[in-house]
A and B are shown apart, each in its own frame.
Chain A
Amino acid sequence: MPSRPKSFSRRWRLAPILRFAYLAFFLLFVLVPIYWMFNTSIKPSDDYLAIPPVWFPDAPTLVHYEAALFAYRGLEGLINSLIISLSATVLSALLGTLMAYSLARYNTGGQHLSFWVLSQRFLPPVGIVLPLFLIYRNLGIHDTRFGLILAYTMFTLPVSVWMMFAYFRQMPKSMEEAALVDGWTRWQAFWRVAVPLAAPGIVAAAVFAFIACWTEFFFALVLTSRNAFTLPTVFRAFIGFQGAQYGEAAALAIVSLGPSIVLGVLAQKHLVRGLTLGAVRG
């Protein structure tokens, strides 16, 4: 049997090792900070900056969670954040889907309206925060969940519309037309055919909207104070002129990861596109 060239056989064995090393590096890159955050959240305050670092605390504690959630009102922030983010996400997905469908199928507003919708994102947010603050104060919706839901819906809508617009445009019209000829109204064809088929797009747009709302800090800071404050604004309190509350910050960060992870797992199935495959010739 002729022997293989040496370089070939070596490369053959090297490839999986390289791939493993590459993946391991990125896995560590992503997971170590999260572990360190978790680690910090359960270790006693003295161990925060200890040298050598304490990787596995001897006496894990939950005091930081207690302090972050109750003393620093993290739990209220969490509840506000959940209500506001979910409401804004649902509104943004619902309105975005309707707007996008109208733009994609009826060419509403000609070629300019769709671009105008997206152009709302060109404006730096800082440019409108003061006017918005004044308007909200005059309308009496400053520091209310409703006010923030409204603002967040407004900010996430352009991206939702644009994502859904692109999605609807690549979806063949013929299935909705088949429904129309089959005896359904436009509205029924939309709900029973177009929306189920666009589900992956709607879920993707909703996930983006939720993440944007969940992590938003600037508007929450300006438009709320003692009542409707959201989770990100709570973190301000952990850094004072006397030092930083590392344990509490880490504990609340871990808590704030929860909903994102749950959402990610739930949405994962729908994020996979391909539902339209098989509808048309294959």
Chain B
Amino acid sequence: MAEVKITGLHKRYGAFHAVKGIDLHIPDGEFTVLVGPSGCGKSTLLRTIAGLEEASGGTIEIGGQVVNDHRPRDRDVAMVFQDYALYPHMTVANNIGFGLKARKMPRAEVEKRVTEAARMLGITQLLDRLPRQLSGGQRQRVAIGRAIVRNPRVFLFDEPLSNLDAQLRDEMRGEIKRLHQEIATTIIYVTHDQIEAMTLADRIVLMRDGVIEQQGAPLDLFERPATTFVAGFLGSPKMSFLPGKFLRDGSAAAISLGDVLMPLPPARASIAAADGQLILLGLRPEHLSRAEGPAPVPGHIRQEAVVDLIQPTGSRSYATLRLAGAPAMAELQAHDVSRPGERLAIDINMNRASIFDAQTQRAL
């Protein structure tokens, strides 16, 4: 077990600058998820930590020791690959024990540890099989077994669930989280799937174009996104952005969307925006609900909208609305909405709304 500290890390492939000066401190035992769209440098960062790529600049410390010049085998990390990377010519037992043999562990000890890991993952009956005789989920378990049997200082997961079907993915996600609760080893986990990131992480590191866009606890990022990019990346269906103008009059503040004026609750009126500044109002689907009662709850404002498109999911229905001329997604009760073209009174929760500078795309 160990903390991981990355300072000013760069990785270049010729003219391509994949990782542009990353600073990251991962405390011992933390489950950190690197997330971002493809090409954001998250996998490269992980591979550089593993030692499979050489850093072009900066340092990587594992357990207080700079490992830039260490070979992968000397870093004492274990990695689970996206394609599992099982050795096809070895049985499951040999696949799991291969890393222990590299460390010249006595045969009996190897056997004991392999059996133990197989028991933990429920693959004891597969030990004599070859990888090609296994299903995708079983291969995934073997790959994880190969990592935990080593008892490394840090686990690295490179999109381990992306080749599984949706149901198996949910199941394995839960198992990985339980695994972390049991062994409490530092985990760095790469994914492009924001749901995986939200559900697994102690901390999310959201990357974009080789830099960290924002990092923090999952709910922090979700509720207080620093940029429109973070806001749009986390959450599904994603946040709607409505272009408007910030208006200030003394201590009161409001947002105007076209000819609709939306007063801000006092708690939100103090944001650092000037009168007349162009902004983007960020609304998550769950911030819009069907109007109930004679007047909206404090902090909410009531607004009429036209339904454009309805996507029922069973318990909830997602409706794309025209709100002050711009499209916005609302999460409504299944029977709140029946047909496109319908006019609905909508209550908007302004306490939770995000406000971004239209120019810099940063939160205000």
Contact = CB atoms under 8 A, between A and B. Distances in A.
Interface string A79-114: 000000000000000000000000000000000000
B146 interface: yes
B342 to A, nearest CB: 45
Contacts of B86: 175, 178, 278-280
A117 interface: no
Given A185-B71, A279-B88, A178 B131 contact: no
Given A188-B102, A197-B89, A275-B88, A182 B150 contact: yes
Contact-residue size bin, chain A (C-beta under 8 Å from the other chain): 20 to 34
A175 B98 CA distance: 12
Interface in A156-183: 172, 174-175, 177-183
Contact of B72 (A174, A180, A281): A180
Contacts of B79: 177-178, 181
B83 A182 contact: no
Contacts of B103: 183
Interface residues of B, number: 34
B99 interface: yes
A184 B78 CA distance: 12
B121 interface: no
B153 to A, nearest CB: 12
B84 A280 contact: yes
Nearest to A279: B88
A252 to B, nearest CB: 41
Interface string B78-105: 1101111111110000000011001100
B343 interface: no
A197 B73 CA distance: 21
Given A278-B130, A281-B163, A180 B73 contact: yes
A277 interface: yes
Interface in B127-165: 130-134, 136, 139, 146, 150, 156, 163
Interface of B: 50-52, 71-73, 75, 77-79, 81-89, 98-99, 102-103, 130-134, 136, 139, 146, 150, 156, 163
Can you list the 8 inter-chain pairs with the closest CB atoms, starting with the nearest? Answer: A278-B132, A182-B99, A183-B102, A174-B85, A279-B88, A280-B83, A178-B85, A281-B163
Interface of A: 172, 174-175, 177-185, 188, 193, 196-197, 275-282
5 contacts: A172-B83, A182-B98, A182-B150, A278-B133, A280-B86
